[in-house]
Amino acid sequence: MSKIAVVTGAGSGIGRAVALALAEAGWSVALAGRREAPLRETASACGAGALVVPADVADPASVDGLFAAVRERWGRLDLLFNNAGTFGPGNVPLEDLAHEAWRHVVDVNLTGAFLCAQGAFRLMKEQDPQGGRIVNNGSISAHAPRPMSVAYTATKHAVTGLTKSLSLDGRPYRIACGQIDIGNAATDMTERMRTGVPQANGETAVEPVMSVADVAAVVVQMAGLPLEANVQFATVLATNMPYVGRG
């Protein structure tokens, strides 16, 4: 029997690339996201075994429905790729960031990751054999911020704390949790890297990007480890992007 994975934010970008790579590696994949049409596109590329579950990760009832659908279809879960996220409004000074914009980023990036992890924990603890793996999508911003990105940066730092707590609390139940921190993968979200983004010194500069398939390959590698081994943190980035020595 193939292993079972849930991928959030699976309708585009990193989520879609990871879902396709997992399917190619023999996993059965549940595809979660707010918009059904892009999920259907991902599913058609994944093959007949994919399950489409439109879900809003910031809504507890919607997340409950996602994991109920997985339980009903397969009865177990081996992997959650906690990927859904949003950058929020770009290039907005901290003092001008609307409360609603702050809350939206927190709700999706942090609360959404928590709710999905909670749903995965419940299923992984109850199933036989017990256990599974959670991989959280962090960011280079979990280590070093970009200018005018306070909401995104704060939530990605918080995801690191979530990852550590999940890793600790999962030990008694054979639930491993790790994090992949990604820098400049070529997606719609990072398209602006090709035209120039603000730098810490006040300049605007074009930054290198890498193939999203390279990110997916690392997630598949992390997912394929036995539960006795865990990649706690992995950093995958475009080789020449300004991260080491940023600013």
216: domain CATH number is 3.40.50.720
Q: Residue 94, Cβ neighbours under 10 Å: how many?
A: 11
Residue 209 tokens read as: 């990007």
Q: Which of 152, 153, 167, 187 is catalytic?
A: 152
Enclosing H/E stretch for 105: helix 99-106
Q: How many Å apart are CA 229 and CA 12, to the nearest integer? A: 29
**pLDDT tens-place string over residues 215-243:** 999 999 999 999 999 999 999 999 988 88
pLDDT classification of 189: cutoffs 50, 70, 90: low
Give the 3-state secondary structure of residue 15. Answer: helix
Whether residue 173 lies in the annotated active site: no
Residue 105 lies in a domain: yes
Q: How many Å apart are CA 55 and CA 123, to the nearest integer? A: 17
Per the structure, the complete domain to which residue 77 belongs is given by 4-237
Residue 137 lies in a domain: yes
Residue 244 lies in a domain: no
Q: Residue 20, Cβ neighbours under 10 Å: how many?
A: 21
pLDDT classification of 246: cutoffs 50, 70, 90: low
Q: What is the pTM of this model?
A: 0.94
Q: In the chain, what is the straight-line distance between the N-terminal and C-terminal CA atoms, in Å?
A: 49
